[in-house]
Amino acid sequence: MLDRSMNYIIGDRAISLDGNSQQVCYVSHAHSDHSSAIRSKGKQVIASDETIALCGKDVERTAVPNITLARSGHIFGSTQLIAKEDGGVFVYTGDFKLEDGLTTKGAEIPKSDFLLIEGTFGSPEMVFPKREEIWEDIAKWTKEKLETGIVIFGTYSVGKSQEIISILNKYAGVTPFTHEKVSQISHVYKQFGVNLDFISLGKDSKEAPKGNFAAVVPQNLLTNGLVSGLESAYGKRVYTALATGWALKGWGFADRVFPLSDHADFEDIITYVEQSGARRIFCCHGNERVLARALKERGFDAMPVRELEHKFPQLTLLDSTLDK
Ligand SMILES: [Zn+2]
């Protein structure tokens, strides 16, 4: 049983899926918009070891009978939730991608009857180039710009930064400098055995950037002020880059915006849905109406999760009184 606020009920337990409205919360991955339960007090959390380590907080773990996790391929440690009930199998994908990245393997596609799937890029025009081509593009562009200046990537600290470090290492032979927020997360990846070469900037910095160098910083720090400050400090041109699936929509102010996403594109969402065998599909996380419509046009029984209470009034809508 699922409600429009993404509370899932199995047996006598209510589980908040990537939220924090129940006592028991499932956290699919460490991005802040999915992991509030780990930062909330007194929650019992279902999550992978990697996700909890990336969030850097002590938290009470719990296991719920008939619930297992599978890899979702979005970022390191990201998972999907699989719940086996008498009425069928329910799967929640969390954020996912099917293609292998350099720091995480692509998603598994568990068989399901009821599927709650993310639709971040769930509209038909959102189809990404092959990942390997983007890696090569990033490496080529970086090497070319490093001949005459400094290259700064602005990316999410968790997930995308480590992917960029790995691309620079493996495809460009470059060891980037990293902002301390990026370094902190990258060290957790290393603790779990992911090979990343980077030089931390900040307090514990062993080396100062000199010559022409590449750096990876949190996206919100990549400002005109940073660029002009670096240009006057080093007397060199600074080239900026972003990596996001929204590049396909022309989003992002930088010298280059690469369409490198940690989400499935539209075609991979359709592939996932087909291979899952799900007979009823609920769409969540943005673009849910567009995705539900596109799935219906392809013959699937799909709806945005936020319409649940209107379509299924027989479902008990949970409120916070249930976990008191
Ligand atoms: Zn995410």
Check: CB of residue 6 under 8 Å from CB of residue 19. Answer: yes
* Distance from C-alpha of 49 to C-alpha of 88, rounded to nearest angstrom: 27
- Interior angle at CA 7, CA 72 and CA 60, nearest 5: 70
Pick the CATH number of 131-258 from 3.40.50.12780, 3.40.50.10890, 3.40.980.10, 3.40.50.150: 3.40.50.10890
The closest of 157, 159, 154 to 243, measured between CA atoms, is 154
> pLDDT-based confidence at 204, cuts 50/70/90?
low
Q: What's the 154 CA to ligand 1 centre distance in angstroms? A: 16
Block residue for tokens 């219906």:
296
Q: What is the mean pLDDT of residues 240-245?
A: 94
Write the Ramachandran bin of 224: left for phi over 0, alpha for psi from -120 to 50, otherwise beta: alpha
Q: In sequence order, which residues have a C-beta less than 8 Å from that of residue 300 and are 6 or more positions away?
A: 273, 278, 281
Decide: helix, strand or coil at residue 206.
Answer: coil
Q: In sequence order, which residues have a C-beta less than 8 Å from that of residue 189 and are 6 or more positions away?
A: 76, 103, 162, 196
Please state the domain extents for the chain: 7-126+263-323, 131-258
> pLDDT-based confidence at 11, cuts 50/70/90?
confident
Question: For 258-303, how does the pLDDT look when each residue is reduced to its tens digit (9 = 90+)?
Answer: 999 999 999 999 999 999 999 999 999 888 999 999 999 999 999 9
Dihedral sign for Cα atoms in the order 215, 250, 73, 23: positive
Decide: helix, strand or coil at residue 26.
Answer: strand
Q: What's the 31 CA to ligand 1 centre distance in angstroms? A: 5
- For helices 266-276 and 288-297, the axis angle rounded to 10 degrees is 60
The answer regarding whether domain 7-126+263-323 maps to CATH 1.10.357.10 reads no
Residue 314 has what pLDDT? 45
Half-sphere exposure of residue 3: CA atoms within 13 angstroms, side-chain side: 18
Q: What's the 95 CA to ligand 1 centre distance in angstroms? A: 5
* Distance from C-alpha of 5 to C-alpha of 16, rounded to nearest angstrom: 8
Full strand arrangement of the beta sheet holding 79-85: 67-71, 79-85, 88-92, 114-118, 280-284, 302-304
CB-based burial label for 232 (10 Å; 0-12, 13-18, 19+)? exposed
Q: In sequence order, which residues have a C-beta less than 8 Å from that of residue 204 and are 6 or more positions away?
A: none
Q: What's the 93 CA to ligand 1 centre distance in angstroms? A: 11
Question: For 110-149, how does the pLDDT look when each residue is reduced to its tens digit (9 = 90+)?
Answer: 999 999 999 999 999 999 999 999 999 999 999 999 999 9
Q: What's the 296 CA to ligand 1 centre distance in angstroms? A: 25
Q: What's the 152 CA to ligand 1 centre distance in angstroms? A: 22
The closest of 18, 28, 22 to 42, measured between CA atoms, is 22
Q: What's the 206 CA to ligand 1 centre distance in angstroms? A: 32
Question: For 39-70, how does the pLDDT look when each residue is reduced to its tens digit (9 = 90+)?
Answer: 999 999 999 999 999 999 889 999 999 999 99
Concatenating the DSSP letter of every residue in 120-139 gives: TT-STT--PPPHHHHHHHHH
Check: CB of residue 20 under 8 Å from CB of residue 37. Answer: yes
Q: What's the 118 CA to ligand 1 centre distance in angstroms? A: 10
* Topology alike, domains 7-126+263-323 and 131-258: no
Full strand arrangement of the beta sheet holding 13-17: 7-10, 13-17, 24-26, 44-46, 60-61
Question: For 65-105, how does the pLDDT look when each residue is reduced to its tens digit (9 = 90+)?
Answer: 999 999 999 999 999 999 999 889 999 999 999 999 999 99
> pLDDT-based confidence at 4, cuts 50/70/90?
confident
Q: What's the 165 CA to ligand 1 centre distance in angstroms? A: 18
When mean pLDDT is compared across 15-19, 163-167, 308-312, the lowest value belongs to 308-312
Tokens at 184, concatenated: 């902190």
Check: CB of residue 214 under 8 Å from CB of residue 142. Answer: yes
